[in-house]
Structure 1
C-alpha cells in the first residue's frame, strides 16, 4: 500500500487509475489465495486433535478487514468521494456479515 501511494505521488494523477487497479489486483490475488487455502483445509476433512486449528478465522477476518479498510478508505474517498467510501466499507461489512452468518449455520 505504501509503495502504491508513493508511486502515486511520484507519477502523478495520470497514472492513478492504473496504480489503484494494480493495488486492487494484488489484494484480490491475496484474498483468492487465502480462500483457496481455507477450502483445501476444509476438504482435507477432520484432523487429529493435535493438528486441529483453533478458532474459526474471525480474528483473521477482522484484522484483514481493518488492513484492507485503511488503504481502501484513502483510495475510495480520494477517487469517488463519499459514494466511493460508502461502497468500499459496504463491501467490507458484507464480507464480515457473510462470515458471521456462515458461522451460525449448522455444519454437518
Structure 2
C-alpha cells in the first residue's frame, strides 16, 4: 500500500519523529517500548484524523464545484429554450415592422445571440476566476 499523501513538510516531520523514537528506544532499552509505541500510535492517530478532515474538505469542495457546474449548465439550457421561445414572436414582429424584412429579422436575432453570448462569456469568466471547470 502506498504512503498517504501528506504535504512534504509533514513527511519530513513524521520521518524525524520516527527516527527519534527509534533512537530513544535504543538508548532507553526494551523496558520503555510500550511508552515509545504509545507515543508513535498517538502521532499516527493524529495524522489519520488530519488526513480524514483533509479528505472531507476536499470532498465537500468537489461537491460544491459539481453543483456549480450543474447549475451553470441548467441556466444555459434554460436561456437557450427561452431564447427560442421569445425569438419566434420577435422575429415575426420585427419582420413586419422593418423594411427590408430581412434587416428586422437579422437585428432581432443578433440581439438574441448577443444575450446568449454574453451569458456564456460571463459564466466562463466566473469559472476562470473560481478556478474550476464544470465541463470536466
* TM-score with structure 1 setting the length: 0.48
* TM-score with structure 2 setting the length: 0.39
Query: Who wins on radius of gyration, i.e. which is larger?
Result: 2
